[in-house]
Amino acid sequence: MASPVVIKKEKVDEPRPSPSADAGEGQTEAEIECRMIELMGEFPKGINDKILETDMPNVDKKVKVAILNRLLSQEKVNIFRAAVTKELFWCLKQQPTSKLKGVDSEEKIVMRIIEEAGNKGIWNRDIRTKSSLNQTTLNKILKALEGKKLIKSVSSVSAAKKKVYMLFNLQPDRSVTGGSWYSDNEFESELVDVLNQQCYRILQQKAEGAKQKPLEGPLIVRNASFLSSKEICQIISDLKIVKFNLTVEDIETILDTLVYDGKIEMSSTTDGYSDGQVKTYRTVEKILSSAGIVRIPCGVCPVIKMCGTVGAVQPKNCVYYDQWLD
Ligand code: SF4
């Protein structure tokens, strides 16, 4: 990013909808604001229009501007203009550690370590190693800083019993919360299954539609059967299957699972407007269905060498077969 020129306040004049109103696509302004703050945590150097458009393509630009202006007036974010491109960027306003009032020197050391960890957070043990404080003192300091609402602890999906600490005003990174597919540290497997099936159905319908048109050959039919992840995200959002603000990145994680299952294929292209690549997807038509023998679990069984008529691993009590037959 080009070196920024900081400007004090630059509001964009747009009509502001009521904060309680549905901001479009079933999302409230509060949810969109929350996602914006999360994005600013992911991009500490600032977010611009392009990042917002990619992450929340279904949210009206007026709503985004109204939320950003409100965050500015609440002094939660800073705005600056890039020196070369003149693009506007918004970033989280953080209280400099050195200016904190009522915080003693040991607390400042801990705050600085936590601040450096950003929105990915840092474990208690790592803070102890970096600060060289003993566990009892550190626990007291962490408790005091939490009480002053300067830091917060967040449970990580990667290790539910371990908490990571981060600055109070940061939204945890996706690697901590697990992203949209986790709720209270639980993986939303049913929702993922529904979206997986829905994405596949949308691509099947697109492929069938492409075949119906009197086009000029198989290559054109093939090209007409692709949909970009942004288009699929828009269709799924319109169906209102999910209650949160679905991002293109969320949909790409679902589409990736279909690619790994061999049901669809991915290609990339440019949208003609930006430098970035756009991911597009289409269903894969199998010329021949695979023979039954290659689909049985024994073909990929990790314990096949131990399997027999005696011993702990036997076909008659095989869990892989039970799952496969189900
Ligand atoms: S029967 Fe079950 S345990 Fe034995 S090889 Fe097949 S899949 Fe593996």
Domain boundary assignment for the chain: 4-92, 97-168, 188-283, 293-325
Query: Measured from the CB, is residue 298 less than 6 Å from ligand 1?
Result: yes
Query: Measured from the CB, is residue 82 less than 6 Å from ligand 1?
Result: no
Query: Measured from the CB, is residue 44 less than 6 Å from ligand 1?
Result: no
**Which residue from 257, 134, 128, 131 is spatially nearest to 200, judged by alpha carbons?**
257
Q: What is the position in ligand 1's atom list of the atom closest to the CA of 304?
A: 5
Query: Measured from the CB, is residue 30 less than 6 Å from ligand 1?
Result: no
Burial of 52 by CB count in 10 Å (0-12 exposed, 13-18 middle, 19+ buried)? buried
For residue 309, how far is its CA from the centre of ligand 1 (angstroms)?
A: 11
For residue 324, how far is its CA from the centre of ligand 1 (angstroms)?
A: 11
CATH class of 188-283: mainly alpha
Residue 245 phi, psi (nearest 5): -80, 100
Task: Spell out the residues 6+ positions from residue 122 whose beta carbon is closer than 8 angstroms to its own.
Answer: 113, 114, 116, 164, 165, 166
For residue 323, how far is its CA from the centre of ligand 1 (angstroms)?
A: 12
Rg (alpha carbons) of the chain, rounded to whole number: 25
Tens of pLDDT along the chain (326 residues)? Answer: 444 444 444 444 444 444 334 444 556 777 788 788 878 877 877 888 888 888 888 888 888 888 888 888 877 788 888 777 778 888 887 655 545 666 778 888 898 899 888 888 899 899 999 888 899 999 999 999 998 888 888 887 766 667 889 888 787 877 777 777 777 667 778 888 899 999 999 999 999 888 887 666 778 888 888 999 989 998 998 888 877 778 888 899 899 989 988 889 999 877 655 556 788 999 987 766 666 677 788 877 888 888 988 888 888 888 888 888 87
Domain 4-92 matches domain 97-168 at the CATH topology level: yes
Pick the CATH number of 97-168 from 1.10.510.10, 1.10.10.10, 3.40.50.300, 3.40.50.720: 1.10.10.10
C-alpha count within 13 angstroms, C-beta hemisphere, residue 161: 0
> What CATH number has the domain spanning 4-92?
1.10.10.10
For residue 291, how far is its CA from the centre of ligand 1 (angstroms)?
A: 18
